[in-house]
Amino acid sequence: MIESEVSSSAPLEAGEVILETRGLWKIFGENPQRLFKSDLKDESKEKIQEETGLVVGLRDISFKVHKGEIFVLMGLSGSGKSTLIRNLIRLVDPTAGEIFISGKEICALDDKELMEFRRRSTAMVFQAFGLLPHYTVLENVAYGLKIRGMPIEERMKIAQEAVETVGLQGWEEYLPSSLSGGMQQRVGLARALAADPDLMLLDEPFSGLDPLIRREMQDELIQLQSELHKTMIFVTHDLQEALKIADRIAIMQNGQIIQIGTPEEIISEPGSDYVQEFVRDAYPATVLTAGTIMEENEPDIHVWQGPKVIHTLIHRSKRDFAFILDKRNCPVGFLNHKALEKLIKDGGERVDQAMDTEFETCTPDMTVEELFPLATASPHPIAVLDDVGKLVGYIRNHTIIESMIQEDFEDSLEEPEDTDV
């Protein structure tokens, strides 16, 4: 079901759909349209090939990508991810379906319109760097702008800015053969950025790099995205890479998208046995966030409430501790039941006489891996605060530690025992 139509005249705004596919198919073989008139259309890829000789590359693909999003296509070899990214700008023509990029129906463009659209609205970065060996770094970066017909002074200025953006300042006059693999890929990335496209398509761009360089390039991409907010389709077969860079991930199998979700959703809520097996070796601590594993702070307990009232509230909450809040619902202290009982026994009237003002805090988007040092630094649960400092929940130390271990991952999301801090 299509959620909404893409307007051809709509401006590019935050949250706008930049790319949408509707019922996209790619069938390889002679007279592929015959499959749609056949009873075999819904059969397995293997049966279709056996009985018709046709190979289903893509089957009924529908999804949307929003402005500023890194949307990762991933799957094993033969899953259809590279076929899909090539279909999006008709490097391979789809057999059926519709593709909208920035409101334009790509399948309706003639050859001249398609070429112009590719030059101005999209840019690709491949695993093979695709650099012109006799052009300098700066000339390579400016090449796409040259093809557009942009004057040399203007295009060189834009290319220089892109070179500096990817950290290659000082290398402008070198030839590609003088550069390392990682540096050559930076040139490819700069060339794509210089074009200022609506959509960037990256087909396994880091797969040919050494592991250390690959991680550095991933970090560079994340940093660039935090500054530039480009819309990207990124193809990879590497789950750790996808979990690291993606806003959302589409997992493909046999030419179909079988699940779309955030990295956290893919890890914590696999939609099928295939996805569960696919992510089995993932390290949840690098993906799960505080917002996922935290417990809600109910009820709120405030600093002006008396010790006996607070004792009653803590007892009813089936906890043996509480974060003490001010009038803005920001935590000002931590109180456990032993300190509270001693305060009551000693006749104390103010809870601030017994609470500990030293405790660790985090934000909901911090990963479990980032929380681990906090868990080891304090005996108290960690307070989870929103962007204005209000308490939205807490995380017990044992939950963090268990989430660092794959086997205990699901257990860490279960309801904790009443007395375990």
* Chain segment 41-89, per-residue pLDDT in tens: 889 999 999 999 999 999 999 999 999 999 999 988 889 999 999 999 9
Q: Per the domain annotation, does 206 fall within a domain?
A: yes
Give the residue numbers spanning the domain of 230: 17-282
Within a 10 A sphere around the Cβ of 233, how many other Cβ atoms?
25
Cβ partners under 8 Å of residue 70, min gap 6: 225, 232, 234, 245, 246, 247, 248
Phi, psi (rounded to 5 degrees) for 184: -65, -40
Q: Per the domain annotation, does 176 fall within a domain?
A: yes
DSSP assignment letter at 44? -
Domain boundary among 282, 303, 333: 282
Phi, psi (rounded to 5 degrees) for 387: -70, -10
Q: Per the domain annotation, does 190 fall within a domain?
A: yes
**269 and 315 fall within a common domain:** no
**198 and 268 fall within a common domain:** yes
Which stretches does DSSP call E strand in 29-140?
55-66, 70-74, 96-101, 104-105, 122-126
What does the block give as tokens for 342? 């001693």
Q: Per the domain annotation, does 107 fall within a domain?
A: yes
**29 and 55 fall within a common domain:** yes
**343 and 233 fall within a common domain:** no
**268 and 295 fall within a common domain:** no
pLDDT number for residue 404? 60
**321 and 206 fall within a common domain:** no
Domain boundary among 260, 282, 304: 282
Total number of domains in the chain = 2
* pLDDT tens, N- to C-terminus, the chain (421 residues): 233 333 333 444 446 899 999 999 999 999 999 999 999 988 999 999 999 999 999 999 999 999 999 999 998 888 999 999 999 999 999 999 999 999 999 999 999 999 999 988 999 998 777 889 999 999 999 999 998 899 999 999 999 999 999 989 999 999 999 998 889 989 999 999 999 999 999 998 888 788 778 888 888 899 889 888 999 999 998 888 898 899 999 999 999 999 999 988 888 888 898 888 887 766 666 777 888 888 888 888 899 988 899 888 888 888 889 999 999 999 999 998 889 889 888 888 888 888 999 999 999 888 888 888 888 888 889 999 988 899 999 998 888 777 665 444 444 444 444 434 3
The torsion region of residue 416 among left (phi > 0), alpha (psi -120 to 50) and beta comes to beta
What does the block give as tokens for 79? 């899953």
**266 and 303 fall within a common domain:** no
**203 and 327 fall within a common domain:** no
**What whole-number distance in Å separates Cα of residue 217 and Cα of residue 126?**
14
Domain boundary among 255, 282, 309: 282
**336 and 194 fall within a common domain:** no
pLDDT tens digit string along 22-37? 999 999 999 999 999 9
Residue 223 burial (10 A CB sphere; 0-12, 13-18, 19+): exposed
**What whole-number distance in Å separates Cα of residue 183 and Cα of residue 160?**
15
What does the block give as tokens for 133? 């060996």
Q: Per the domain annotation, does 249 fall within a domain?
A: yes
Q: What is the DSSP string of 215-240?
A: HHHHHHHHHHHHHH---EEEEES-HH
Residue 102's identity, in one-letter code, is S
Q: Per the domain annotation, does 9 fall within a domain?
A: no
The answer to whether the CB of 324 falls within 8 A of the CB of 301 is yes
Nearest CA among 286, 290, 275, 268 for reference residue 410: 268
**130 and 86 fall within a common domain:** yes
Q: What is the CATH number of the domain that holds 215?
A: 3.40.50.300
Query: In sequence order, what are the beta bridge partners of 199?
Result: 122
DSSP assignment letter at 7? P
pLDDT tens digit string along 373-412? 888 888 889 999 988 899 999 998 888 777 665 444 444 4
Q: Per the domain annotation, does 12 fall within a domain?
A: no
pTM for this structure? 0.70
Max CA distance (Å), the chain: 90
**194 and 332 fall within a common domain:** no
pLDDT number for residue 405? 56
Q: What is the CATH number of the domain that holds 328?
A: 3.10.580.10
Cβ partners under 8 Å of residue 7, min gap 6: 103
**299 and 270 fall within a common domain:** no
Q: Per the domain annotation, does 6 fall within a domain?
A: no
